[in-house]
Amino acid sequence: MRNSMYKLIGVLIILSFVLVACAPADEPAPQEPAPGDNNAQQPADGIAGLAMTNRISEEWKQSGKMFAVPSVAAREACAVACHDGYAFSTGEFTDPEQFDEEGMHFVGIDCQSCHSGTGQELMDTGLVSVPFADEEIQAGTGALCITCHHGRRDTRAIYEEYEGGGATRFSYPHYGPAALTTGMGGVEYPDVEYGHTPAHGELENTCLTCHMPQTADGYRDHTFQMDEQYAGQTCGGCHSGITDWNLNGFQDQVQEWVSQLEEAIFEETGSVYISSGGGQLIFYADEARTETLTPDQVSLEAFIAAYNVYLIRTEGSWGVHNPAYTRSLLQESYRALTGDELQ
C-alpha cells in the first residue's frame, strides 16, 4: 500500500536525522562529493540534515515535477515509463479506479522516483536505451534524465513510414532534449551526413553535470533548470568568460532559422500554425485553429521540416545542447523543402 510505504519512508528519514544528530563528535567529517555524485555526503561547511532536505524540497517544487498529470498517469504505459513517480520507480501500476478504496493516488516525480528502484538503477549503471539508437547510451547519472526526455520516437521508422505513404497521423517529438544532445533524434534524410557537436553528450554525467550544479551550500541544485549564476561553473571550463547561454548569438541565430523554416512550411502546406495534441503533431489550417491538415495533405519534406522545427522549438536550449546537429537539421530540412539555403 502506498500510504504505508510513505509512512515507513517518513520514519526512516526521521530516524536518519536522529542518528546524524547523535553521532559522536570525533567521527570523520563528510567528504567532498565526487563530480556528478548526487548521492554522496555533503561537505562539512555546507548545510545538511533537515535544512538541506527542506532546501532541496523547495527547489524541487519549482521544477514542475511535483504533480503528476492525471490524463497520462492513468495510462499504464505512460505511468510506468515516466508520468507516475511510484509506478516509474517500482514498475507497479495501479488502476485509478482502485484509488478511493485503496487510499492511493497519482504521484509526481518525487524523491523516491529518482533515488530508489528504476531511477537509482539508471544512475548506478549509467546506461539508457533510446529508440533511435542501436545500442544503449552511456550517460552517467544523466541516464535517469534521458530515460524520459529523449523524444520517445524511432525517427528512422517515422521517415520510412511517411515516405512509404503508410502514415495515418503526424508523429511528434515527445520531450526531446536528449534527441538533440545525442545527435540522433531528429528526422534525418538517409543520404545526408549531419553535423554533431559531441561535447555535451560526452560529459561524465551528461544532463546532471549542467542541470544540477553544486550550490554554495554544498548540495546539488534540484530545480533542474539552467541558472545563469552557475554559467561559469557549468560552462566556463570550455567557454571562458561565459555569462549566459546565447554564446556568440547562437540562440538568436537558431530562432531566426526556425522562423524562416516555419514560414516555408506554412507557404508549402497552407497551414498557419504548428502545435501538438492527442499524441501527434498538428498542422492548423486557419487562425481560429478549428481546421487541421491530414498526412495526405502534407509532403514528406514539409513533415520532416515541421518535426525538426517542433523538436528544436520545444526542447529548451535553442540548439545549445548540440549546435552542429541543430544547424544541420534546420539547414537540410530547409534545403529539401525549398531548394535554398537558410540565411
Q: Kindly report, residue by residue over 4-30, the tens digit of the pLDDT.
A: 444 444 534 443 443 333 444 443 433
In this model, does residue 61 exceed pLDDT 80? yes
Q: Which range has the worst mean pLDDT, 11-20, 143-152, 304-313, 321-330?
A: 11-20
- CA gap 160, 166 in Å, rounded: 9
Question: Percent of the chain scored above 70 by pLDDT?
Answer: 87
Question: Percent of the chain scored above 90 by pLDDT?
Answer: 81
pLDDT averaged over every residue in the chain:
88
- CA gap 297, 103 in Å, rounded: 49
Task: Tell me the domain boundaries of the chain.
Answer: 2-24+44-121, 153-199+249-338
Which ranges constitute the DSSP H helices of 64-197? 70-73, 76-78, 85-90, 99-102, 111-115, 117-125, 143-146, 155-163, 177-181
* Half-sphere exposure at residue 66, Cβ-oriented, CA atoms within 13 angstroms: 11
Beta bridge partners of 274: 283
Cβ pair 291, 285 in contact under 8 A: yes
Average pLDDT of the residues in 242-269: 97
| Higher-scoring residue by pLDDT: 9, 88 | 88
Cell of 60: 524541487
pLDDT for the residue numbered 46? 76
In this model, does residue 98 exceed pLDDT 90? no
- CA gap 27, 23 in Å, rounded: 7
Determine how many CB atoms are found less than 10 A away from the CB of residue 280: 13
| Higher-scoring residue by pLDDT: 175, 309 | 309
Cell of 108: 509526481
Rg (CA), the chain: 22
pLDDT for the residue numbered 18? 35
Average pLDDT of the residues in 56-61: 95
Whose CA is closest to 305, among 280, 277, 281, 279?
281
pLDDT for the residue numbered 12? 42
Element (H, E) at 137: strand 137-138
In this model, does residue 271 exceed pLDDT 80? yes
- CA gap 168, 199 in Å, rounded: 37
Residue-wise pLDDT for 172-223, tens only, equals: 999 899 999 999 999 999 999 999 999 999 999 999 999 999 999 999 999 9
Check: pTM over 0.75? Answer yes or no: yes
pLDDT for the residue numbered 196? 98
- What's 31's DSSP letter? P
In this model, does residue 260 exceed pLDDT 60? yes
Per-residue confidence band for 45, with pLDDT thresholds at 50, 70 and 90: low
Judged by DSSP in three states, 275 sits in strand
